[in-house]
Amino acid sequence: MRRTDRKRKTNGGFTLVELICVIAIMAILIAVAVPSYQNMQNKSAEQVAMANARSEYSAGKAQQALVDAQVLKPDETESYDYDPISDTATWVGEINGKTYTATFDGKSGEGTVSHK
């Protein structure tokens, strides 16, 4: 008698359980990654707002220096209203519910940059 061994053919695919596990792992990774990405976007927008406020403050100081040096007369300036007695220039912007403010005091020549 001849003995024949029949080998079982194995299919090389994934089982349903394996696919469900992979999908669950991907869902967990996405759930962790999306909030982190949104936080990075919010921080970036806040940094842009602070940079704009600092830029406005620097522009105010430069404008003040030009007025003090009598290069520009106060009535010749287009974007800065200067009153040597009590003027302040203020830039205000709002990003992600936070308000950013840059203030320049024409009398003292100093300013502040802040956010709430």
What is the widest separation between alpha-carbon atoms in the chain? 118
Q: Between these two residues, 29 and 53, which has the higher pLDDT value?
A: 29
In whole numbers, what is the pLDDT of the chain averaged over residues?
Answer: 71
Predicted confidence at residue 21, as pLDDT, reads 96
Boundaries of every domain in the chain: 20-113
pLDDT tens per residue across span 15-28: 999 999 999 999 99
Instruction: Tokens 């912007």: give the residue.
Output: 93
Q: Are 87 and 63 in contact (CB under 8 A)?
A: no
| H helix runs in 8-104, sequence order | 16-68
pLDDT tens per residue across span 49-102: 777 777 877 777 776 776 666 655 544 433 344 444 556 666 666 656 666 666
pTM exceeds 0.85 for this model: no
From the CB of residue 82, how many other CB atoms can be counted at a distance below 10 Å? 20
